[in-house]
Structure 1
Amino acid sequence: ARACWLNEDLTEAISLGHDLGHTPFGHAGEQTLDRLLPGGFRHNEQSLRVVDKLEGDGGLNLTVETRNGIYCHTGDKQPTTLEGIVVRLADRIAYINHDIDDALRAGVLKKDDLPQFALQVLGQSHAERIHNMVLDVVEQSRGRGVITVSEHVQEATDELRDFLFDRVYIGSEAKRDEGKAERMVATLFAHYRRFPEQMPSLYQAVWRQEGLEIAVADYIAGMTDRFIIHQFEQMFIPQGWTL
């Protein structure tokens, strides 16, 4: 944002808020809540809900531009500000490269598996790819009143993203625990619908004002992986007995 002479405060505010609606277990958790919640569930909509209603005792009173950037960081709708577009592009650069790094460390991928055209254009290492992708955005955008990338970098980025969907997000052993994650989310959703008084007071207030399913979805969506596993163990896994 600074290199393109944009509003750094707006860019930072969008960046800090855009992923607040992510569920535990990522896409698996989001899919489960989308199936269980009447009206569906989308993490970008939930991020906006967090800053509009759940945080700060009734919302944070953010600007229209910040709220738009949070909502439009993913999906079909494009942000209305250049700062929002910067966050949308930066998010894509970050998750593609970090997911590659995670998959390599976990042994899901080997470096030789990565598409060579993309590596030739973007770089062989994690740091090189991020540097070249960010530099391309700056060079293509600065002083032009738009935020964009070059055609060859876009093609290479799309190739990497498609590769990750085929080999990591959809077709790898990394998905072997997805069913477990979905069942855990669904089980806790059913549990808190039955015993809503066990939720914190914030979500009990949402229950009274907006309905039980919305309150339960808000509570579960705000959990981390570690916290939801702990809650599940506390409720459904017996402790070992010492005789």
Structure 2
Amino acid sequence: MTIRKRSEDWEHQTLSCHAAFADQTRGRGREEPECDIRTAFQRDRDRILHCNSFRRLMHKTQVFICPEGDHYRTRLTHTLEVSQIARTIARALRLNEDLTEAIAMGHDLGHTPFGHAGEKGLDEISPNGYKHYMQSVRVVEHLEHGGAGLNLTFEVRNGIQCHSHGEDAVTQEGRIVRFADKTAYMNHDIEDAVRAQIITEEELPFHVKCTLGRSKSERISSLVDSIVRNSGEDIVMGAPELAAYKELREFMFAQVYKSPIVRDEEDKATELVKRLYEYFARHADKLPTEYKLIVDKEGADRAICDYISGMSDRFAISLYDELFIPRSWTKQQ
């Protein structure tokens, strides 16, 4: 018996009947030999962790664009926080932690530079629109490994696609990640906004503080506890905590996400992304070789969106500077 088989047997012995079992996956896009050590979902997690798109999350915006300070979140730190919250919930409910972690690690791979500001830019200018959760699936299916993709299991791809909008994931593990994503971003965005002196902890709605707590740790614990206590046949949050979360979300949109400090920089980022798109729409021949191949197969719009969405904040700024900012003329020697 291989180590993988023992792990698969352990899942059946210990996990809930609502869990997704690795040996019952709906499979991969391409068949391949099983690993003797890792289950299918463990392999998916490792493939995501080691791919190029995951590393680039380190230099992509969460909320504040190019913040000066080491403690503001990036897409990478956000992803790690989502993963930890999701695993905590999965373990408490005796669901599959490996599947949960794989989905959480991959859920934002398709995010543009400058976070939702960049996504807005591509969505407005692309004839086909742009959604980061769909691009995350495209990354793992087509863009990584030189166009071969990561060949992930159906359950992981489905969880990534459904983490933000639209239909619920087919697995409870995927539904956990949707809740974990909301829990993580709302609470760490509060912390970052306080650090940026946009809001203070005292300004948070009184009802929210009474229901969820006054600190980040208390709020996350309250939301996680509510999900664990109320979930069974499905993943749900208790009514009081859900109402408090919605009130907190409304507060954050009014006071932080739409604040002049954030919006002014987001508008710049949105326009920067649009300018890059317009440039490559006129000069598709300037795309890197791998994206020229996409132009031939799927059209210029698809290739340009793939190229821009994969950029880090600093690369996008550097490229914009190279393409649009005049250089001082110097006499050639």
Instruction: Report the TM range for the smaller structure's normalisation.
Output: over 0.9
1:162-203 per-residue CA deviation (whole Å, 9 max, x = no partner) reads: 111111122442111222112211111111222323322221
Q: 1:182 — aligned with what?
A: 270
User: Matched residues in 2 for 1:190 and 1:36: separation?
Assistant: 8
> Shift of residue 7 of structure 1?
1.1
Does 2:193 correspond to 1:94?
no
User: Matched residues in 2 for 1:140 and 1:240: separation?
Assistant: 64
Q: Alignment partner for residue 204 of structure 2, among 114, 119, 127?
A: 114
Q: 2:78 — aligned with what?
A: none
Does 2:156 correspond to 1:156?
no
User: Matched residues in 2 for 1:240 and 1:97: separation?
Assistant: 45
User: Matched residues in 1 for 2:181 and 2:260: separation?
Assistant: 23
The correspondence of residues 151-230 of structure 1 with structure 2, limited to 5 A, is: 151-230=239-318
Does 2:130 correspond to 1:19?
no
Q: Alignment partner for residue 128 of structure 1, among 218, 224, 229?
A: 218
> Shift of residue 239 of structure 1?
4.4
User: Matched residues in 1 for 2:267 and 2:227: separation?
Assistant: 38
User: Percent of aligned pairs with the same residue?
Assistant: 46
Q: 2:234 — aligned with what?
A: 146
1:192-243 per-residue CA deviation (whole Å, 9 max, x = no partner) reads: 2223233222212111110011101111011121211111112222345789
Q: Alignment partner for residue 32 of structure 1, among 99, 121, 133?
A: 121
Q: 2:166 — aligned with what?
A: 76
- Give the counterpart letter for 2:236 in structure 1: T
> Shift of residue 72 of structure 1?
0.7
User: Matched residues in 2 for 1:145 and 1:60: separation?
Assistant: 31
Q: Alignment partner for residue 63 of structure 1, among 142, 153, 156?
A: 153
Secondary structure class of the residue paired with 1:2: helix
RMSD (Å), alpha carbons: 1.7
With 25-34 and 195-204 compared, the bigger mean Cα shift is at 195-204
Greater relative CO, 1 or 2 (CA 8 Å, sep 6+): 1
Aligned length, in residue pairs: 241
Unpaired runs of 5+ residues, structure 2, are 1-89
Please give the TM-score of this superposition, normalised by the length of structure 2: 0.69
1:5-32 per-residue CA deviation (whole Å, 9 max, x = no partner) reads: 1111211111111111111122221121
User: Matched residues in 2 for 1:182 and 1:240: separation?
Assistant: 27
Q: 1:46 — aligned with what?
A: 135
User: Matched residues in 1 for 2:208 and 2:97: separation?
Assistant: 30
Secondary structure class of the residue paired with 2:91: coil
User: Matched residues in 1 for 2:306 and 2:186: separation?
Assistant: 27
- Give the counterpart letter for 2:233 in structure 1: G
